[in-house]
Chains A and B, each alone.
Chain A
Amino acid sequence: MALDTLQRDGFLTTRLDEVINWSRKNSLWPMPMGISCCAIEMMATAAPRFDISRFGSEVMRFTPRQCDVMIVAGTVTFKMAKVVRKIYDQMPDPKWVISMGACASSGGMFRSYSVVQGIDQFIPVDVFVAGCPPRPEALLQGLMELQRKIAGDRTIGRLLHGEPIRIPAPALPPAQSSMEGLSS
């Protein structure tokens, strides 16, 4: 098969990793975990002026089962941490997490008994976005950083070697607090 035949018939040769990573990184569907004020900036990021759809991430899904990246935007209390973890566990692999703002990343100004001092204590975080709140541009840069990270992923190599994309989440201990009253 000569090269000119290939070109005439519309073939393209590449690495499988490139194709998979390219398709993954350009349609990251966010799970908007908007817990407090940072969520307003996240909404602004989705609005026309900043337009997160330029990066393929405009499809904010409120069901974790359709999401690729969880944007934790807000102050995570200990009580809420269980909910955040539960939603994270419901997202299908591969999945990523952006920790948006000072509160989610470190507890922020809420240095107190009720606020988790950084969500990386209970979920793996890929990108931390600084700010209180971060401007929409900062969130977009965080998203681009994540895209860069995904682009460099050894997806196939890891599949072949049986390495999981993520260390599988350990089974959660049975819920100790009854959150039922909140949802019913």
Chain B
Amino acid sequence: MTNQEILEAVGAAFPDGILGHGEFREDLTLLIRKEDLLRIAGFVKRDLGFDLLIDILGVDHFRAAGRFEVVYNVWSLLHKRYLRLKVPAEEEHPVVPTVTGIWPGANWHERETFDMFGIRFEGHPDLRRLYMPDEFEYYPLRKDFPLMGIPDSLPLPRR
């Protein structure tokens, strides 16, 4: 299955679902609407055979429109190729539906993305922080977070 065939198959099933696409080092990237994420994710898993979720990550573009983006890297054991799905999320309340129902392995990846970027995954079974302490109030991989952190936001034991 070539990238062209993937693109055509998704395009045929979701005529206005694809906002854009690109190719990098022979891997296809599809920019899709948030509303279509669950259906397109289900489609590429069920009908195109992208059965293994490699990683989910967030991107902070730090621009006025479409500040955040969630990237899903999926791999097909059958076709031996990658597909990348990108979903934009707005700045104020970034929310994206969870794909744990489609790829159960998304659970901790989404928790990590939530922990680092504050992007909420609607319907996630257990959306807690993964790395930072529960009481931490910031999202460290956002571009407006200072490198050395916010003073006193992470309390140390007293000496």
Partner-B contacts on A (CB < 8 A): 78-79, 81-82, 85-86, 111-114, 116, 120-124, 170, 172-173, 176-178
Which residues of the other chain, A, contact B93 by a CB distance below 8 angstroms? none
Q: How far is the CA of A116 from the CA of B155 in the complex (A)?
A: 10
Q: Which of A112, A113, A120, A170: most chain B CB closer than 10 A?
A: A113
Q: Which residues of B contact A120 (CB under 8 A)?
A: 159
Inter-chain contact B135/A82, CB cutoff 8 Å: no
B150 surroundings in chain A (CB, below 8 A): 113
A113 pairs with B157, CB closer than 8 A: no
Find out whether the CB atom of B158 lies under 8 angstroms from the CB atom of A113. Answer: no
Question: CB-CB < 8 A to B159: which residues of A?
Answer: 120-124
Q: What residues of chain B lie closer than 8 Å to A79, measured between beta carbons? A: 131-133, 154
Determine which residue in A78, A120, A173 has the highest number of CB atoms from chain B within 10 A of its CB, and name it.
A78
Describe B's contact surface by its main secondary structure: loop
Tell me the bound Cα distance from A113 to B146 in angstroms: 8
Q: What are 8 contact pairs spanning A and B, CB under 8 A? A: A78-B133, A86-B157, A112-B149, A114-B140, A116-B156, A123-B159, A176-B133, A178-B134
Q: Assess whether B157 is in contact with A85, with CB atoms less than 8 Å apart.
A: yes
Chain B residue with the shortest CB-CB distance to A123: B159
- The complex places the Cα of A81 from the Cα of B30 at a distance, in Å, of 42
**3 A-B pairs with the lowest CB-CB distances in the bound complex, closest first:** A113-B149, A177-B133, A85-B157
Q: How far is the CA of A122 from the CA of B158 in the complex (A)?
A: 6
Chain A residues contacting B148 (CB-CB under 8 Å) are 111-113
By a CB distance below 8 angstroms, the chain B residues around A124 are 159
Q: Known contacts A113-B140, A114-B140, A176-B135; is A81 also within 8 Å of B156 by CB?
A: yes
Given A78-B133, A79-B132, A176-B133, A112-B147 contact (CB < 8 Å): yes
Rounded to whole Å, the gap between the CB of A24 and the closest CB of chain B is 24
